[in-house]
Amino acid sequence: MEVWLRMIRVGLIGYGTVGSGVYERLHRAKELENILGDHIEVKAILVKDRQKQRATQTEVNVTTDWEQFCLTADYDVIFEMIGGVEPAYSYTTYWLKKGVPVFTANKKLVAEKGKELENIASQANTYYGYEASVAGGIPIVNILKATLSTTTISRVFGILNGTTNYILTEMTKHNRSLTEALTDAEQKGYAESDPSDDLDGYDSWYKIRILSRLCFGDWSTSLQFSRKGISDIEDWHVEIGNKFGFSIKLIAEAYRHVNTTVGGVYPAFLCQSEQLNYVNGVTNGVFIEGEHVGQLLFIGPGAGKEATANSMVEDFQFHHRIVKWERSFSSTVLHEHPYKHLLVCLTHEEREHALDWVKETGCEVLDTFTHHEGEGWIIPLRNQMEVPFPFYPIYGDVSLRKRVKELYSAQFGSI
């Protein structure tokens, strides 16, 4: 006969893909119960639409009424999975002020309101968990909170969106157009019906701001981090990168520079020497760069019902046993850009203008490739450089690139 010390009463806010995954995970949580020594029971689920099929298949109280949800039980823990800032912020604030811990997969809410919510949780002597808000099944948040809590970190960067990584992988590996790759991603369920958050870089932008807080201590403002998605990538830009042996990825990164934290999200080309070059499909990869650890790479599923739900439940289990976490936020300042070269893409009509720009600025052109729609030039990055043409950062050692064409020495001069 099993004897439980107490019952953990759970409330779920949201019952979409992730919400149903959390319910299923808790519903068969015998191993988790054995670890905690407590019985777990989902008491109520708050949904927006009571008529949805998935919401009617549970054995617990499912309601669209906030007051009814609040009165159903004295909850010990809340899982929030509805997305967006409101009403998620109001719901979360309500429970944290009552001293009830809240766990979320809502990256937008955490990025925009995380500072306020952490302060509320601290004042109420409870906690706000957001492991599942970044990189799906990779436990990167609690690695930074606990395992690397005294490690000095200089930079965090990676691939944080599975949808765009799948699209760019298809464009690079299978020579598909962006439109074709997006359609395929939608058919396979990797992209939402409205994929703008992914394509415009917002999803990765929220996530890198969260990782920045965990690595460097401060919650960044939206003005500190630039954002550029993949919507404007021309197919021929990718083809030119391929000719040099580069792969295009949507990179998110943050690092300390002077007295502030800076970073952003943008498409970039990766040399074959870069390990993220081999993170393909819907997989995510996160690099942590530190003074004593060098580079640590974490790879895993970036989204999905089971992976994200598992992260939420593991987050709860982690905090249930370790209520307080402390992290040393010492960091190393980077004095140079993480990348040193750019791939500039220009149309044939822009070529004369580009040649004039090279002569005026004294910019070096290290290599070129001519495409039927334009040209690609590899140039070194210089301080305060303003490039009047579409360009992409290049990560890695460009000397290892494929040599595709002799330099235009007569036009560019000796380099």
For 119-150, the pLDDT digits (tens) are 999 999 999 999 999 988 899 999 998 888 88
Distance, CA of 415 to CA of 401 (rounded, Å): 17
The token pair at 245 is 């042996």
CATH number for region 7-129: 3.40.50.720
pLDDT of residue 413: 46
pLDDT > 50? residue 407? no
Residues 22-63: pLDDT tens digits?
A: 998 888 767 777 777 788 899 999 998 765 555 556 678 999
How large is the angle between the packed helices 235-243 and 162-174, nearest 10 degrees? Answer: 60
For 244-268, letters b (16+ CB in 10 Å) and e give bbbbbbbbbbbbbeeeebbbbbbbb
pLDDT higher than threshold 50 for residue 406: no
User: pLDDT grade, residue 178 (50/70/90)?
Assistant: very high
Residue range 102-113: mean pLDDT, rounded: 96
Q: Name the more confident of 49 and 96.
A: 96
Structure confidence at residue 318 (pLDDT): 83
Q: How confident is the model at residue 398 (pLDDT cuts 50, 70, 90)?
A: very high
C-alpha 217/C-alpha 211 separation (Å) is 10
Where is average pLDDT lowest: 119-133, 154-168, 231-245, 251-265? Answer: 251-265
pLDDT mean over 362-366 = 93
What would the two tokens of residue 110 be? 């955490």
Q: What is the pLDDT of residues 281-300, one digit of tens each?
A: 999 999 999 888 889 999 99
Q: What is the mean pLDDT of residues 327-343?
A: 77
Q: Is the pTM of this model over 0.85?
A: yes
**Residue 338 pLDDT exceeds 60:** yes
**pLDDT score for 410:** 41
And the tokens for 370? 């001519």
How many H helices and E strands in the chain?
14, 16
Asked if residue 103 lies in contact with residue 127, where contact means CB atoms within 8 angstroms, the answer is no
Q: Model confidence over 302-315: pLDDT tens digits?
A: 878 888 888 898 89
Share of the chain above pLDDT 70, in %: 90
Average pLDDT over residues 371-382: 95
DSSP string, 257-326: ETTEEEEEEEEEEE-TT-GGGG--TTEEEEEEEETTTEEEEEEEE-S-HHHHHHHHHHHHHHHHH-----
- For the residues 335-356, what does the mean pLDDT come to? 92
Whole-number average pLDDT of the chain: 88
Count of other CB atoms within 10 angstroms of residue 360: 8
Catalytic residues: 207
pLDDT of residue 207: 96
Q: Which residues contact 233 (CB under 8 A, 6 or more apart)?
A: 171, 178, 248, 267
Model pLDDT, residue 414: 39
Q: Which of 241-250, 330-339, 404-413 has the highest mean pLDDT?
A: 241-250
**Quick one: fold of 140-301?**
Dihydrodipicolinate Reductase; domain 2 (3.30.360)
pLDDT given for residue 223 in this prediction: 79
